[in-house]
Amino acid sequence: MAKIYQNKYAGFETYFVPLYPVKTRGIEARKVGGYGITCVNGRWRCEKTEYYRLSLSDADSFPVVGNVEIDINRYVKDAILDALEMAER
pLDDT digits (tens, 9 = 90+) for 7-60: 988 888 899 988 888 988 889 899 999 888 898 888 888 889 999 988 888 888
C-alpha distances out from residue 62 to 5, 10, 19, 40, 75, Å:
6, 10, 16, 19, 23
The predicted pLDDT at position 1 comes to 66
Q: 0.75 cut: is pTM over it?
A: no
**Cβ contacts of 6 within 8 Å, gap of 6 or more:** 13, 14, 15, 16, 62, 63, 65
Contact 15, 5 (CB under 8 A): yes
